[in-house]
Amino acid sequence: MSTWFVSGPVDVPMVQKGAARFIDEAAIEDLCEECTELDRPAGVYAFGLRTGGGIVPVYIGMTEGRSLRKEAFNDRNVKQIDRYINEHKGTLVIFTVTQVKGPGKPNISDISEIEYFLIGRAKGRNPNLINVRRPGEDDFAIKGVYNGGPGKSTNGEGAFKDMMGL
């Protein structure tokens, strides 16, 4: 089993143009000094929007050969995220999920599974997730545990969630 770790959240530099906000692509190099994992050649990245209620996932992506920086901040992603952040309030942040350094190359087969898993969980927190690739819809719910909608879990539901790592 390979082990992966999370880095972040790191604020993504923004530039204001009139009433609109955009990712400051000229400042991405500085961002990589703060979040060195963005220069890693394989992994998963997650953009989120920090608001008063926490961080809401916005976009989950992966790369198996390009640097996380080049993939996360490619033209298509930047345009989609710029559009999203101008429709919502908050501070844009980025997380990375990369493999613990060890001998050899990263376990590429895990990357797609991790991205799929994270998209499924992120979609539960933000139905407006802007990902193109989405997991299939689950046609079941376990009240208070999984896909059960809003509301507080009972003590038993919470204990079950904790036990199952949900």
Q: How does pLDDT run across 117-150, given as a tens digit for each residue?
A: 888 888 878 888 998 665 555 555 667 766 666 6
User: Do 10 and 70 belong to one domain?
Assistant: yes
Q: Average per-residue pLDDT in the chain?
A: 83
Mean pLDDT of 99-124: 79
Contact between residue 46 and residue 64 where contact means Cβ atoms under 8 Å apart = no
What stretch of H or E contains 33? Answer: helix 28-34
CB atoms within 10 A of CB 160: 16
Q: Which domain holds residue 164?
A: 139-166
User: Do 87 and 158 belong to one domain?
Assistant: no
Q: Could you tell me the pTM of the whole model?
A: 0.79
Cα separation, 140 vs 37, in Å, equals 37
Q: pLDDT at position 88, please?
A: 93
Mean pLDDT of 146-161: 73
Q: How does pLDDT run across 7-52, given as a tens digit for each residue?
A: 889 999 999 999 999 999 889 888 888 888 888 888 999 999 999 8
Nearest to 65 by CA among 43, 45, 42: 42
Position 66 pLDDT exceeds 90: no
User: Do 127 and 160 belong to one domain?
Assistant: no
User: Do 80 and 146 belong to one domain?
Assistant: no
User: Do 129 and 152 belong to one domain?
Assistant: no
User: Do 128 and 158 belong to one domain?
Assistant: no
User: Do 123 and 158 belong to one domain?
Assistant: no
User: Do 131 and 150 belong to one domain?
Assistant: no
CA 25 → CA 28, 78, 123, 128, distances in Å? Answer: 5, 9, 27, 24
Mean pLDDT of 103-124: 80
Position 91 pLDDT exceeds 80: yes
User: Do 123 and 166 belong to one domain?
Assistant: no
| Number of domains comprising the chain | 2
Q: pLDDT at position 36, please?
A: 82
Nearest to 16 by CA among 28, 5, 24, 4: 24
Residues with Cβ < 8 Å from 110, sequence gap 6 or more? 2, 4, 99
User: Do 90 and 22 belong to one domain?
Assistant: yes
User: Do 24 and 49 belong to one domain?
Assistant: yes
